[in-house]
Structure 1
Amino acid sequence: MIKINNLCKNYGDIIALNSINVSLVDEKLTYLVGPNGSGKTTLIKSILGLIKISSGEIFVDKLRLNGNFSYREKIGYMPQVASFPENLTVEEVIELIKNIRSSITNLDDELINEFNLKKEFNKKIKALSGGTKQKLNAAIAFLFNPKILILDEPTAGLDPISSSLLKDKILKEKSKGKTILLTSHIISELEEVAEEIIFICDGLIFFSGEKNNLISSTGEKNLERAISKLMREKSENFSNGN
């Protein structure tokens, strides 16, 4: 559903993405992982058309991205940090986004109910806690029942109960055949849900494939240790100039 060919993104002399070739497996949950500054967010923003790529091609549902943003209707995006108009209420934010995406009528308000957000409807965004903003962020990502979900650090700032509810929702959507891409620094928390792994470091893809293949290839006993080993190896190679 998402295919990337020879993708490059430069910021002046800084190479953020270096000839990326990778595909997301349809109807699978892919965990995008890498150290800080590895290119994860740049890759996500490239897929979403939020930044202009330097070269290469991106296909979403066989559509080559070329400036037409209609494909975004197929995507639910949860950024790492929610940003909503501070003077609007929770209900006004939800209604505003519904109006913007008025062509989509098959709404999924399960997380609004699970997170008990209706009791917050009359509160302005500026009065919300960080955790409540993150709940609203998640609820909006799932609201339009998208075929593709891109979740950037989805459990960051959530309490254990809310985090568990969100993971249950992610698993539920995966069981429906959704294609899901997510990032998280809490590797152990997502080991149970991840199926495919993309490991990116210094703007390069060093592994793309099944979770179990990564674990076995590193000789480690779980995903957290396997990824930690990869990160150490790449860090050592970089330090040695390799």
Structure 2
Amino acid sequence: MITITNLHKKFGDNQVLQGVNLTINQGVLAILGPNGSGKTTLNKCILSMVYPDQGSIEIKGQNIKNQWKYRENIDYLPQIANFPNNITVIELIQMIKDLRHDQAKDHQPLVNLFKLTPFLHKKLNKLSGGTKQKVNLLLTFMFDNPILILDEPTTGLDPAAMITLKQLILNEKKKGKTILVTSHIMSFVEEVSDELIFILEGKIYFKGTVDQLKETTKQTTFEHAIANLLID
């Protein structure tokens, strides 16, 4: 469980998070909102990549302030993966295993799943954006930690890879994991999420299920329900 209390974060004159209170349990929580609403900043605060100006975050009852060990229990897919350009895919995989101190981890099932075998010995600067994203997903799902944070995981994926990603997320959910997902693709969110929050200008305007959102906004489709929040 992740408990976030009265979280504030400001960059210069831009107040990105304004008193966020949130409890995140097992299952898939979708974090939605327009660009600049605070979604990625919230994720980075949980990872201690960004330090909040005020408030607290607890994971399994432990405050994460000035801690780092807890991050060993989190698998993170960043919105933009900045890989070294001059190494191959297989070299990157081995490097990440070294950093995570887990050379025994078998990457081959995910290589097969995302059809990456032809790219293993190609340098990363020779790959398309979609293939880089598949490599990014492989690195994220290669380990087996109780918390998954996926920031725009669908970016650049073809329809087949999107189906593969959905199944991976649902499989991880069955293991009892806590999974945070940000995405602008509403059909994807509707299929994988148990709950969602909608952030606007650093504040949570809604928390609940897709059906609850439709009922609250009196809309018949998820897309129209989200649009209704933006209009209101």
* Category of TM-score, reference length = shorter chain: over 0.9
Aligned-partner SS, 1:191: helix
SS at match of 1:192: helix
Aligned equivalents of 1:121, 1:103: Cα separation in 2 = 19
Report matched runs for 1:121-160 at 5 Å: 121-160=120-159
Query: Structure 1 pair 105/214, CA: closer, same or farther in 2 (3 Å)?
Result: farther
Amino acid in the other structure paired with 2:109: E
Q: Equivalent residue of 1:163, what SS?
A: helix
Question: Helix, strand or coil for the counterpart of 1:207?
Answer: strand
Secondary structure of the structure 1 residue equivalent to 2:29 = strand
SS of 1:77's partner is strand
Deviation at 1:107, TM superposition (A): 5.2
CA change 1:43–1:165 in 2 (3 A) is same
The letter for the 1-side match of 2:25 is: V
Question: Stretches of 4+ moved more than 6 A in 1?
Answer: none
Aligned to 1:238: none
Asked if 1:161 corresponds to 2:153, the answer is no
Name the residue aligned to 2:64.
65
The 5 A counterparts of 1:49-198 are: 49-102=48-101, 109-198=108-197
User: Which residues of structure 2 form unaligned runs of 5+?
Assistant: none
Alignment identity in percent?
46
The aligned amino acid for 1:8 is H
Contact kept, 8 Å, 2:94 with 2:103, in 1: the verdict is no
Q: Count matched residues.
A: 232
1:22 corresponds to: 22
Deviation at 1:153, TM superposition (A): 1.0
What RMSD, in angstroms, separates the aligned Cα atoms of the two structures?
1.5
1:125/1:58 CA distance change after superposition, 3 Å: same
What TM-score do the two structures reach when normalised by structure 1? 0.91
- Deviation (angstroms), 1:73: 1.3
Which residue in the other structure is 1:201 paired with?
200
TM-score by length of 2: 0.95
Instruction: Report the CA distance between 1:31 and its aligned residue.
Output: 0.7
CA shift digits 1:40-63 (9 cap, x unpaired): 111111111111211110112222
- Conserved? CA contact 2:97–2:105, under 8 Å: no
When residues 109 and 214 of structure 1 are mapped into structure 2, their CA distance, relative to the original with a 3 A threshold, is farther
